[in-house]
């Protein structure tokens, strides 16, 4: 029986990246829908669960993506509501590569420092899909998390993450890289989750900083998000700090993403969101 992946994307054009990875990870066909809203999920999901008998539903699965993390969470919630009894299929949420990228970055940084419990970590531009998930995973693991955003200040960002993951999170407004030195004061780890081609952590903000042990960046597009790192860094030592660049993290991200897609077709009742994806990554 063909392995069918229903791609529900909140953006107007369903992600080509997610579609290619799905084929490479073993899907025989990817049915891609863009501009999906919570209101339109139910009928799309019904098409997926009513067509094959319960015994064969592990051959159908759903992938939720798009550039808006909050909307991705709403689509996931609507998909779960559309299931009933044995009529359900496995679902993965990975808006903008959020979960797989964050899981890979956090796993690498944890490996470099040992336990995350009590560690102080800064996530710059922590309001995007990747930053939100990374901050949440750090907080859930017991780290003291600081997230930055150009719009931070009223507590909405930190509360959103705390509600989903719990833990200790504070938010700080940071307009650009000129504010990074102050934000990194006392940090043991820093992860830049800013957009492509924007440097948010200049060299002077991290080099020679007492206590800073791990610095990572998920932006692969020059200028890099952390000045002085190399995009291929995968546990390099620079200025006494362990560093990870976007492609160093990206290799593990791709492995995790593909493993998740393959896992979707093993059972018909899996929900692969941040925590489940992190667990799966630990087994790789």
Q: Which of 13, 56, 80, 151 binds ligand NAP (CB under 6 A)?
A: 151
Least Å distance between CB 136 and ligand NAP?
13
Pick 87 or 220: Cβ nearer ligand NAP: 220
- Distance, in Å, from the CA atom of 195 to the CA atom of 219, rounded to the nearest integer, reads 7
Main-chain phi, psi angles of 18, to 5 degrees: -65, -35
Q: Name the closest residue to ligand NAP (Cβ).
A: 128
Q: Which of 218, 261, 277, 280 binds ligand NAP (CB under 6 A)?
A: 218
Pick 101 or 158: Cβ nearer ligand NAP: 101
Q: Does 220 bind ligand NAP (CB under 6 A)?
A: yes
CA distances from 214 to 7, 79, 161, 246 (A): 35, 38, 22, 14
- Distance, in Å, from the CA atom of 208 to the CA atom of 135, rounded to the nearest integer, reads 24
Pick 192 or 268: Cβ nearer ligand NAP: 192
Site track for ligand NAP across 173-212, x = CB under 6 A: ---x----------------xxxx-x--------------
Q: Which of 125, 139, 143, 145 binds ligand NAP (CB under 6 A)?
A: 125
Q: Which of 141, 172, 246, 277 binds ligand NAP (CB under 6 A)?
A: 246
Applying the rule CB under 6 A, the residues between 41 and 70 that interact with ligand NAP are none
H helix runs in the chain, sequence order: 16-24, 38-49, 69-82, 98-113, 129-140, 156-165, 180-183, 203-206, 246-264, 274-283
Contact call for residues 209 and 129 (beta carbons, < 8 A):
no
- Distance, in Å, from the CA atom of 55 to the CA atom of 270, rounded to the nearest integer, reads 15
Q: Which of 92, 107, 101 is nearest to 9 (CA)?
A: 92
Least Å distance between CB 165 and ligand NAP?
16
The size of the chain, in residues, is 284
> Contact positions toward ligand NAP, by CB under 6 A?
96-97, 101, 125, 127-131, 149-151, 176, 193-196, 198, 218-220, 246, 249-250, 253
């Amino acid at each position: 029986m063909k392995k069918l992946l229903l791609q529900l994307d909140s953006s107007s054009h369903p992600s080509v990246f997610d579609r290619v990875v799905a084929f490479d990870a073993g899907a025989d066909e990817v049915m891609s829908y863009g501009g999906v809203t919570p209101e339109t999920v139910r009928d799309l999901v019904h098409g997926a669960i009513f067509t094959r008998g319960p015994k064969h539903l592990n051959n159908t699965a759903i992938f939720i993506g798009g550039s808006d993390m909050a909307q991705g969470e709403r689509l996931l919630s609507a998909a779960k509501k559309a299931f009933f009894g044995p009529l359900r299929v496995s679902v993965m949420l990975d808006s903008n590569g959020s979960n797989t990228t964050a899981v890979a970055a956090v796993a690498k940084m944890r490996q470099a420092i040992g336990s995350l419990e009590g560690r102080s970590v800064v996530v710059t531009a922590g309001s995007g899909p990747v930053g939100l998930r990374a901050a949440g995973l750090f907080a859930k693991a017991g780290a003291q998390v600081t997230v930055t955003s150009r719009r931070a200040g009223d507590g909405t960002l930190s509360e959103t993450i705390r509600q989903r993951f719990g833990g200790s999170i504070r938010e700080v407004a940071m307009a650009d890289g000129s504010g990074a030195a102050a934000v990194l004061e006392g940090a043991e780890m820093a992860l830049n989750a800013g957009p492509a081609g924007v440097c948010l952590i200049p060299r002077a903000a991290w080099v020679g900083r007492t206590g800073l042990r791990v610095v990572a960046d998920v932006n692969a597009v020059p200028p890099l998000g952390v000045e002085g790192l190399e995009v291929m860094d995968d546990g390099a030592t620079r200025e006494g700090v362990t560093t990870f660049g976007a492609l160093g993290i990206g290799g593990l991200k791709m492995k995790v993403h593909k493993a998740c897609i393959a896992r979707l077709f093993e059972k018909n009742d899996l929900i692969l969101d941040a925590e489940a994806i992190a667990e799966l990554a630990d087994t790789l």
